[in-house]
Chains A and B, each alone.
Chain A
């Protein structure tokens, strides 16, 4: 529960996230009317499992975008982590799952650290740096794999089962995604470092002058985004079993789309991890709904595109209205 005192800005964010929930509800309702199987247990489960990987990555991306940066390398980081972990598990089938997860996080964190260092100390815009590392990390994976792939039958059963196992009826994948989103939200909202990340995105110059440890926080944001993409790589490998060097190609655009649709401002300073998670859920449900409704696959991309534009327009509209009402509140002073 949020405190009463933080009503005004929080209420606005609420409406922003409420918008996604309403869109989601309308979509599910319409699709279910047309095909009742859409709300079956298996369908819900598939949707949630498909959302989980995207939501984990979107959470890291949201943190980076909040600082007025972007991380386009996440798809490639997923790829390199998935291939590394799958290779490790097929070579050492005895390793427990937790080692796989830690290895994925570590590979991703390292990739994220390089991004952060180049952005901060190379003074190159994040868009350019991560576009470069997108190709670089992918290239490394390709030359490492050399055309080979890791097949499901080479992987230990406990690794593959992880994607389907439950804890108290909740799939592990979904549980991990929930923990990531909730944990990140908590830190971003209630801890100093989180507020500093918002401050950095809101006004970079003011952040420097306020004595915020900008370099440390920026590296932290990129490391988090990389680590979560690495974690997503482990989940990807466990869920799909077969991993080649192209795993996760093009994912970065889905991730950025989820973040933007989820209401994180592209120019930094506002938005939440919950919003990004909801954005991921909405995008996933749209694609499965289109399949259920038997709408041409190709429409899906157009719809996602329209949704992104709609989300940004809605943000602009809300921002303009807020600015106007704030000015009016000011006028009688």
Chain B
């Protein structure tokens, strides 16, 4: 293995936004040939660190050092030139440009006349995709790619720049297990070539699998930098949250009530086929499967966002009008979508307005919306979900990713639904909040709420679900009871293999 040398050193950096100190006096080194995890709860300052390394923000005090020289990035272009590549939490692609152009942007291969060499550019993209083991057409536009595919393009982009330092801000949040494996094998080979990796993730099994060193942050301050081998997951969590966490997935036992949702033979050409399942009051049913198996598409069809070709959706025995989210809401359904940025929130609106959006009519008096009712309702729910925010009247876009997710949850939970559909409820959420979300879902189920949960995180599926419906390529591959569902049985069903 390569001799560990600090390729980059974060030295006593501080960064404030207005009155909020996002990062205070944080130092840690990044060694070549090492993967370094950065962990902390939402709002701990991880993303701010990433943005400073990426040249988006400049530290107020403190320095970044590369090869024993202080560096000062005036903008992302400088950081890029210094050999730092960043994969952001939210994909940053150009929807109108081709996948190959997205990858090559800024360093397209040129012909002698300084024109872009499209042939070489496409060949490059194909080579990168082969290395990542994915099949994507380099000439197609980035518009319409699934989040997982967008993330893969981001990874290809980072690889193409031959970076010495690769920063990944929750790259795996939207990826399936298989894709994560592939990504990790690429990251390992980069690491062996001497690159330094900074890896941010809320999944501890990934950190112990991939990383050698871990830096723990809490409330913008450094807690510790340690070797991963010296710590247990419990140690890390305790230091992150500063307290002990009881069981992570506390689903209470509930006697199931009447059938709330009955989906029978639901099909949509080319997307999913013959999908059937039922959910009773008080039950949590998980839809598991690989990314692209059609899980999100099924719940969107149930809720009426997308159309379906055949089959029926019944709520409490009554047929639900297809293709009408309004009818679904009237029947007591609520859908918390996966892509909060595009589907869940209006980024420019205030937090309180976002929380109360689906209930604007109910809260209104004589058709007018008064601030008071909005505010008190928003206050109640954001507090219950422990959302870290400055002011309820701030735009949602100013919150950190995890807190945005909490606002989406608050928005739908406040409608007091009878059937809650959540798509990746804890994607990009820290352990503390995750436990809080799970506890909340569990207590809501105990109150008689029926829950459909789409999730890529197996521990969450196994811990929370009374029943697991595994989808594979748009079909139901297995329906497993709580007793039957194990990590192996779910994965085998999802991947279409028998237990070996």
Contacts and interface: CB of A to CB of B under 8 A. Distances in A.
Contacts of A270: 96
Contact of A6 (B76, B78, B98): B98
Contacts of B55: 211
Contact of B144 (A202, A203, A212, A323): A323
A41 interface: no
Interface stretch (A24-32, A189-197, A237-245): A189-197
Contacts of A7: 139
Contacts of B473: 332
Interface in A150-209: 190-192, 195-196, 198-199, 201-203, 205-209
A89 B190 CA distance: 66
Contacts of B135: 333
B97 A195 contact: yes
Most buried by B among A7, A8, A205, A206: A206
Given A3-B118, A191-B115, A212-B106, A199 B140 contact: no
B143 A326 contact: yes
Contacts of B92: 203, 205-206, 209-210
A196 B104 CA distance: 11
A306 interface: no
A8 B139 contact: yes
Contact of B75 (A190, A205, A211): A211
B145 A331 contact: no
Contact of B143 (A208, A210, A322, A331): A322
A189 to B, nearest CB: 8
Nearest to B292: A333
A265 B75 CA distance: 29
B56 interface: yes
B82 to A, nearest CB: 11
B77 A5 contact: no
Given A190-B115, A190-B116, A269-B94, A211 B88 contact: no
B119 interface: yes
A206 B119 contact: no
Contacts of B305: none
Given A269-B95, A270-B96, A326 B116 contact: no
B80 interface: yes
A214 to B, nearest CB: 9
A195 B141 contact: no
Q: Helix, strand, loop or mixed for chain A's interface?
A: helix
A123 interface: no
A270 B141 CA distance: 11
Contacts of B146: 330, 333
Nearest to B117: A190
Contacts of A203: 92-95
Contact of A5 (B81, B114, B119, B271): B119
A9 B270 contact: no
Contacts of A199: 94, 97, 101, 105
Interface string B94-113: 11111001000110101000
Most buried by A among B78, B122, B141, B473: B141
Nearest to B91: A206
Interface in B108-161: 108, 110, 114-116, 118-119, 122, 135, 137, 139-141, 143-146, 149
A6 B118 contact: yes
A209 B119 contact: no
Most buried by B among A202, A212, A265, A326: A202
Contact of A326 (B76, B94, B140, B271): B140
Contacts of A9: 98, 139-141
Interface in A1-32: 3, 5-9
A7 B137 CA distance: 11
A208 B76 contact: yes
A212 B270 contact: no
Given A8-B140, A198-B94, A209-B88, A192 B75 contact: no
A156 to B, nearest CB: 39
A213 interface: yes
A211 B54 CA distance: 10
A331 B139 contact: no
Nearest to A210: B105
A202 B96 contact: yes
Interface in B266-315: 270-271, 292, 294
A316 to B, nearest CB: 14
A211 B76 contact: yes
Given A196-B105, A333-B149, 11 more contacts: A5-B118, A190-B115, A198-B96, A202-B95, A203-B92, A203-B95, A211-B55, A211-B76, A269-B96, A326-B143, A333-B135
